[in-house]
Amino acid sequence: MKLWSARFNDDTNTLAEELNASIAFDRRMFREDIQGSIAHAKMLAATGIIEQSDALAITGALGEILSDIQADKIEFKASDEDIHMCVETELTRRIGEAGKRLHTARSRNDQVALDFRMYLKNEIKEIIRRELALISALLDIAENNTNTIMPAYTHMQRAQPTTLAHYMLAYANMHRRDVLRLEDCYERMDEMPLGSGALTGTTYPIDRQMVADELGFSRITENSLDGVADRDYALELLSCLSILMTHLSRLSEEIIIWCSWEFGFIELSDAFTTGSSIMPQKKNPDIAELVRGKTGRVYGSLMGLLTVMKALPLAYNKDMQEDKEQVFDAVDTVKKCLPVFTAMLHMMTVKPDNMRRAAAAGFVNATDCTDYLVKKGMPFRDAYNIVGKLVKYCTENGETLETLKMPVYKKHSKLFADDVYAAIELSECIKRRSVPGGPAPESIRAQIKKIRKFQNTRTAP
């Protein structure tokens, strides 16, 4: 018999019961459900709503149920509907009348809101830990490649010289912001909704702050309707995870390109690549491709929950049962992607000679050549046009700016002198980009120090 069946004459249709049940996926919140129930029982006793002896029986049995679930001694059945009814049914079976008192002054509406927030708070902490490990891997690569010159790209065309360290620090900064976003999301999620009841609170003299303190929440929700009716905290988390996966996907794309024969900038470890069933020469960057592909999966979770919530009137509606699978899948996906990506980066081999050759052959020092003329007094736009003509001459005659003879330079401008070769030497081009945030070694060291401090001093919320 279902806990809510008193008003009904007929049993639930089997197909309807299967559609209605959420125990198959919300069972993962059993710890949070039991922890929340223990805190609720303690509060009910402290406020005199139930007897202390009943509270002790309830909390003791809940602790036993927790141990039994962890030991796989309790069977989850579709007839239980959800984890909340499963636990309460088992509790009542074990201790009888006292177990029936647990649900006093609460509803499944505020109970699930509590469990979901508690569960996601813990998941955010774990994702932050994995993000910090990824940042550490990016910093390690940067520290080892401060002078590894490579071309930077715009429109996938070689643009200006940079270093691999500069590249990795760009992604480290992106993931630093991902951590900050997750911390902000955690702070807004850190509100305790129990006591909201079904939608308008309760007439019992409950102590909501006591429950919040017991469960480690910083504050309680301020409106009972809002406490049960919104899932903006879940949407915000999905947004944070979608942005995080965007950053992973972009670096995946770089890695996929860089390890191709056409680029040859890096080589991935055999442990993170696969072969072809028909082409024996292949070494495919499948892990990077999978991370790139799973990004769309996380986006889908965000769009799915946005669509569920977009037209729901207050307060709780059964549509909101669709929140968990979307969020659980996104959380699981991110938690899988981060450590494997981190390990792949640690075992990646950098090929600095190939990177430098690509930079030398791509006229990435053309801007520096332009700046050379500007510093000698020529207006920028005139200098730009002259260097454009030089690049055209080089491409037509198999030259580079470094190999171009001085008579050719002089033919285009009398301002050119032998010191132009030093001005366009790739290492010098890098060193002169010493502005904060640039690729010059001293700038790179400052960036690494700042992000390393962020990574080392961060503690999960």
Catalytic residues: 155, 276
Going by C-alpha positions, the residue among 23, 36, 188 that lies closest to residue 113 is 36
Q: Kindly give the interhelix angle for 380-397 and 366-375, rounded to the nearest 10 degrees.
A: 140
Residue with tokens 């999966």, as numbered in its chain? 297
β-pairing verdict for 149-154 and 157-163: antiparallel
Contacts of 315 (CB under 8 A, 6+ apart): 109, 198, 199, 225, 228, 229
DSSP labels, 143-187: HHTTT-EEEEEETTEEEEEEEHHHHHHHHHHHHHHHHHHHHHHHH
Residue with tokens 């680029």, as numbered in its chain? 263
Largest CA distance in the chain: 101
Rounded CA gap, 298 and 279, in Å? 32
Q: Within 10 Å of residue 104's Cβ, how many Cβ atoms?
A: 15
DSSP labels, 39-92: HHHHHHHHTTSS-HHHHHHHHHHHHHHHHHHHTT-S---GGG-SHHHHHHHHHH
Reduced to 3 states (helix: H, G, I; strand: E, B; else coil), residue 192 is strand
Burial class (CB in 10 A: 0-12, 13-18, 19+), 239: middle
Q: Within 10 Å of residue 89's Cβ, how many Cβ atoms?
A: 18
Contacts of 432 (CB under 8 A, 6+ apart): 368, 440
| Residue 363: DSSP 8-state | T
Q: How many residues does the chain have?
A: 461
> Amino acid identity of 47?
T
Going by C-alpha positions, the residue among 402, 377, 381 that lies closest to residue 390 is 402
Rounded CA gap, 84 and 29, in Å? 9
Residue with tokens 């609170």, as numbered in its chain? 201
